[in-house]
Amino acid sequence: MHQMAHYQGTHRPSRHLTRRSFLAAGAGLAATSLSACPGASDAETAAPRPDLTRPTSLDDAAWAHVRAQFILEPGTAYMNNASLGMPPASVAEAVAAGYDALSREPLRGKTELGRTIAGRVVPGLASLFGAEPAEIVLTRNATEALHMGAVGVRLQPGDEVLMTTQEHPAGSRPWDYRATHHGVKVRKVFIPSPFETAEEVVQLVEEAFTPATRVIAFCHVTRGGHLYPVQQLCALARERGVISHVDGAQAVGMFPVDLHDLGCDTYSASLHKWMLGPMGTGVFYVRAGARGRVDSAFAFDATSDAPAYQPPGTTGLPVQAALSASLDFIETVGIDNVAARTRRLSDYLKARLAEMPGVTLLSGPTPATSCPGSTIFELEGVDAVEAVTLIAERAGIHIDEHQRDGHNAIRISTHVYNTTAEIDRVTEALDRLRSTPS
C-alpha cells in the first residue's frame, strides 16, 4: 500500500503520486475529486516531484525543489498563508489516502489512522513544540483550542482577565463569553501598532496588572505579524501566580517554538496555517504543572492526573493523521531554515515596498518585534479590502487586508513556497494599483 506510507510513522517525505499511479492504486474516490480539479491534466503531464531535502542556502535556487512540492495552479501566486496555509502535495495525498483506507476497510483504516495519530502525529508535534505528548491534544483549529483554554480556567466572578487590544476575535470572544456568563472582568491593554521594542510591551502589560488579575491572554504573533515577548510576559504572570494563555495561531510552523522554554500555561495554535497541515487542524497545550488550574471544557469526571482535554466525539482521523506529512515536510526542511527563508523573503518584500512611493510600513522595526512571515503596510489612496480583490482579479495574486489595529493595511504573508520573482510581481501589481486604483 504505497500511499499508506505516512501512516507507518515514517519521517521520510512521501514520493510523488501522479494521478496515474493514484488511479493504478485504485484510489477511486480521490481520483474522482482529482479529475474534477482544474489543473489535474497539468499534474498528469508534470515532471515527477523531486525529493525533498534540506536547502543549504536561502536563495531561490536552493528552494526550487521545495517549491516543486506544491501543486498551485500555474499563474497564481499565493501570499495569504497567514489566513490559510497551502499544504504541499504530500499532505493532500495523505488526506486522500486516509479516506481511501477508511472506505476500503473502515475498521482497519480507523485503527491504522489512530495509530499514526498516537504514534507519530502527537509525539511529533510535542517534540517540535518542546512539550510532552501528554500535554497536547489535537483540535479543529486555534479558535476551538482558545475557547477550551478560556472556559477551562478556574475563575470567580470579579476575577480579572488582561488581554491586549491586538487579539484576534478567536482569542477575545471566549473571554467575552466568560464575562457574560460567569461575571469575569475583561480589561484590554492598549499596545501600539507597530511597537518599537519588546520592552515597551512588557512594561505596558506589567503596569496593567491589578490584585484581581488572574489571567493574561495574548498572541505569540498577532494577526498583523507583531511578535510578542512571550517568555517575559509569561514570567511576569508566573511571578504573580497568574495564568498565561497564549494564542500561537500565527507562530507554530513559522519559526522554532519551545513551549516549556516559553513558560506559558496554555498555548493554542492552528496547524493549517504555517505548519502547512490540512484544513481543520489545531492543537491545545496545557503545561502539566497547570492542570490543577485549567479544567477540561468537556469531561465532568476529569482529574489533574487524567485531564481529558481532548474534544470528545468522532473526529476527522484522515485529516489529523495527514499531519504526519506536514511534520515530515517541516522536519526535512528544518524549522530554523523555514524561519530564515521566510525572513529572507519578507526582508526582500520590505525593501521593495520601501522603494515605492506612498507606502507606510506597519510591521515592527526589528526581528524582535516582527515575525519572519507576515508584513503589513498601507498604500496611500488605496482601500485595503478593494486592493485584495483587485490584485487577485488583475494579477492572480492572493494577499489579504488588515483593517484592524487602526489601520487600512494590506497583509502579505510569505512562506517557503514563495519566490523573490513573486514578490516582484506583487509589488509591481501594487504599484500599478496605486497609479490606477479603479
Ligand X SMILES: Cc1ncc(COP(=O)(O)O)c(C=O)c1O
Q: Under 8 Å CB-to-CB from 343, ≥6 apart: which residues?
A: 367, 372, 373
According to CB under 6 A, which one of 6, 19, 120, 168 is a site residue for ligand X?
168
DSSP state of 158: T
Q: Is the dihedral of CA 115, 118, 123, 125 positive or negative?
A: positive
Q: Each residue of 420-437: b (16+ CB within 10 Å) or e?
A: eebbebbbebbbebbeee
- Cβ atoms of residues 296 and 286 within 8 Å: no
In the complex, what is the shortest distance from the CB of residue 218 to ligand X, in angstroms, rounded to a whole number? Answer: 10
Closer residue to ligand X in complex, CB, 164/270: 270
In the complex, what is the shortest distance from the CB of residue 50 to ligand X, in angstroms, rounded to a whole number? Answer: 31
Contacts 24+ apart (CB under 8 A), 361-365: 362/193, 362/194, 362/224, 362/402, 362/407, 362/409, 363/194, 363/224, 363/225, 363/226, 364/194, 364/195, 364/196, 364/225, 364/226, 364/227, 365/194, 365/196
Of residues 399 through 418, those in contact with ligand X by CB under 6 A are: none
Tell me the number of residues near ligand X by CB under 6 A: 15
- Cβ atoms of residues 400 and 413 within 8 Å: yes
Closer residue to ligand X in complex, CB, 100/247: 247
Closer residue to ligand X in complex, CB, 143/296: 143
Of residues 226 through 285, those in contact with ligand X by CB under 6 A are: 247, 249-250, 270, 282
Binding track, positions 280-299, relative to ligand X; x by CB under 6 A? --x-----------------
How far apart, in Å, do the first and last CA atoms of the chain sit? 54
Encoded amino acid at 43, one letter: A
Decide if residue 135 touches ligand X (CB under 6 A). no
Decide if residue 390 touches ligand X (CB under 6 A). no
Decide if residue 142 touches ligand X (CB under 6 A). yes
Only segment of 141-149, 313-321, 370-378, 385-393 that touches ligand X (CB under 6 A): 141-149
Decide if residue 327 touches ligand X (CB under 6 A). no
Closer residue to ligand X in complex, CB, 213/250: 250
Of residues 81 through 110, those in contact with ligand X by CB under 6 A are: 83
Distance of alpha carbon 348 from alpha carbon 84, whole angstroms: 22
In the complex, what is the shortest distance from the CB of residue 116 to ligand X, in angstroms, rounded to a whole number? Answer: 22
Closer residue to ligand X in complex, CB, 13/194: 194
Distance of alpha carbon 220 from alpha carbon 294, whole angstroms: 20
Of residues 29 through 48, those in contact with ligand X by CB under 6 A are: none
Tell me the three cell numbers of residue 175.
473571554
According to CB under 6 A, which one of 138, 170, 290, 321 is a site residue for ligand X?
170
Tell me which residues touch ligand X (CB under 6 A). 83, 141-143, 168, 170-171, 219, 222-223, 247, 249-250, 270, 282
